[in-house]
């Protein structure tokens, strides 16, 4: 027998109470892990998603630039346009690597919105080099051709080589390629050569945005200024977009953090209460132990080991709970925050698991220290005094 086995036996003596306390810790740790994991996954995925846009700056028509940029990322359509000439002017600015004009158009089919992107495929190949296609990409001088995203192909049961009646005039378009899954909004879109899109939707010379990649990211501010000298153009950098989205979800995150802090405080108070109660109940027992040779340190150690056992087991249980239920939790949180990037947000990162385990050990130390000191300071007399005549 050692202190560890004695502690386990003591905890098992009050099985119900021990289980409830462990559950309290488990819930606090599960909530903490879920939040940290979601938070880190969210920022990573969002920044990854923006990175995968392959774009540093969006030039949009003057109006409401952040909203416009967000809309463009998600395939929304804004009723204001730039012209091909604006794109040409942008291309001539020093330091710009690619300035690719794009036209976005939205139409409804059976009540479902569909997004069409008119693009220069040669530019896209540079902006999104990870794009892979089943079939082939179109060249910019082809007519009545399109490439579609993988989710769209799946939903509409389309494949490369199919012909699709498309546009207001239901002209037959050939699907020359289907994009392999990208995990971004691109999976939902129709991509057409820019001139074909402009012609099909009666928007000749109109573009919605200019997607710009710069040669040197440190030049973004300087280049943005030059872009804004083009009349009707407003500039949104991708970091601004990320900031806007993070602000949007900020209040939801604050709410989540408050819930977690409250959960942790409740759990900590519960643990301290349980331990103090247990120490009080066992005053005589501790007195007996001191009488048979235990020092104050021995008693304190025993109480601290019991606390640590509760919190560490609770911590591990909490981690298992939140990792195994992460898809449920993720679905729930995604439902209450205004925007969430695609892809898996909660992943069991070793660093976060370490933080949560350290947190449960910390809770154990904080909660155990008071009862441990209290029990170690008991004089044997105090404990056995209740037997006095």
Binding site for other proteins (CB under 8 A): 1-3, 6, 9-10, 12-13, 284-285, 288-296, 298, 379-381, 384, 387-389
Decide: helix, strand or coil at residue 207: strand
Shortest distance (Å) from residue 373 CB to other proteins: 14
Q: How many residues in the chain?
A: 389
Shortest distance (Å) from residue 1 CB to other proteins: 5
Question: Of 143 and 285, which CB lies nearer to other proteins in the complex structure?
Answer: 285
Shortest distance (Å) from residue 10 CB to other proteins: 7
Element (H, E) at 385: none
Structural tokens at position 295: 């020092």
Decide: helix, strand or coil at residue 21: helix
The residue among 149, 105, 107 whose CA lies nearest residue 124 is 149
Shortest distance (Å) from residue 286 CB to other proteins: 10
Question: Of 2 and 92, which CB lies nearer to other proteins in the complex structure?
Answer: 2
Shortest distance (Å) from residue 312 CB to other proteins: 20
Question: Of 270 and 380, which CB lies nearer to other proteins in the complex structure?
Answer: 380
Instruction: Determine the Cα–Cα distance for residues 299 and 290; give it in Å rounded to an integer.
Output: 8
Whether 248 and 338 have beta carbons less than 8 Å apart is answered as yes
Count CA atoms closer than 13 A to 78's CA, side-chain side. Answer: 23
Cβ partners under 8 Å of residue 262, min gap 6 = none
Shortest distance (Å) from residue 378 CB to other proteins: 11
Question: Of 370 and 384, which CB lies nearer to other proteins in the complex structure?
Answer: 384
Instruction: Determine the Cα–Cα distance for residues 201 and 118; give it in Å rounded to an integer.
Output: 10
Instruction: Determine the Cα–Cα distance for residues 289 and 296; give it in Å rounded to an integer.
Output: 10
The residue among 305, 309, 345 whose CA lies nearest residue 328 is 345
Question: Of 11 and 241, which CB lies nearer to other proteins in the complex structure?
Answer: 11
Question: Of 229 and 292, which CB lies nearer to other proteins in the complex structure?
Answer: 292
Shortest distance (Å) from residue 345 CB to other proteins: 45
Question: Of 21 and 200, which CB lies nearer to other proteins in the complex structure?
Answer: 21
- Beta strand 190-193 pairing with 112-119: parallel
The CA-CA-CA angle for residues 34, 39, 42, to 5°, reads 115
């Amino acid at each position: 027998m050692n202190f560890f086995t004695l502690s386990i036996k003591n905890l098992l003596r009050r099985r119900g109470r021990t289980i409830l306390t462990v559950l309290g810790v488990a819930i606090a740790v599960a909530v903490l892990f879920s939040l940290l994991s979601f938070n880190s996954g969210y920022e990573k995925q969002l920044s990854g998603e923006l990175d995968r846009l392959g774009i540093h700056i969006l030039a949009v028509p003057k109006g409401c630039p952040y909203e416009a940029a967000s809309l463009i990322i998600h395939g929304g359509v804004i009723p204001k346009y730039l012209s091909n000439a604006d794109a040409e002017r942008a291309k001539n600015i020093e330091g710009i690597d690619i300035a690719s004009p794009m036209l976005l158009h939205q139409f409804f089919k059976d009540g479902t919105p569909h997004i069409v992107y008119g693009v220069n495929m040669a530019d896209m190949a540079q902006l999104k080099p990870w794009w892979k296609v089943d079939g082939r990409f179109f060249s910019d001088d082809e007519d009545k051709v399109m490439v579609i995203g993988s989710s769209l192909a799946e939903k509409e049961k389309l494949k490369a080589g199919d012909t699709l009646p498309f546009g207001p005039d239901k002209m037959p378009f050939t699907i020359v390629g289907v994009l392999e899954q990208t995990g971004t909004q691109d999976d939902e879109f129709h991509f057409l050569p820019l001139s074909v899109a402009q012609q099909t939707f009666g928007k000749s010379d109109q573009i919605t945005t200019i997607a710009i990649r710069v040669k040197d990211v440190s030049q973004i501010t300087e280049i943005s200024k030059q872009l804004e000298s083009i009349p009707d153009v407003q500039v949104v950098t991708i970091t601004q977009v990320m900031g806007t989205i993070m602000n949007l979800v900020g209040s939801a995150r604050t709410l989540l953090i408050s819930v977690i802090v409250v959960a942790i405080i409740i759990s900590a108070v519960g643990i301290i209460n349980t331990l103090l109660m247990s120490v009080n109940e066992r005053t005589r027992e501790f007195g007996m132990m001191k009488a048979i040779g235990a020092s104050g340190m021995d008693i304190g150690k025993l109480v601290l080991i019991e606390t640590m056992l509760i919190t560490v087991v609770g911590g591990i249980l909490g981690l298992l709970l939140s990792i195994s239920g992460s898809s449920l939790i993720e679905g729930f949180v995604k439902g209450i925050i205004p925007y969430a990037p695609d892809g898996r947000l909660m992943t069991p990162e070793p660093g976060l698991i370490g933080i949560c385990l350290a947190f449960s050990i910390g809770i154990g130390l904080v909660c155990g220290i008071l009862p441990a000191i209290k029990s170690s300071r008991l004089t044997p007399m105090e404990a056995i005094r209740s037997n006095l005549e």
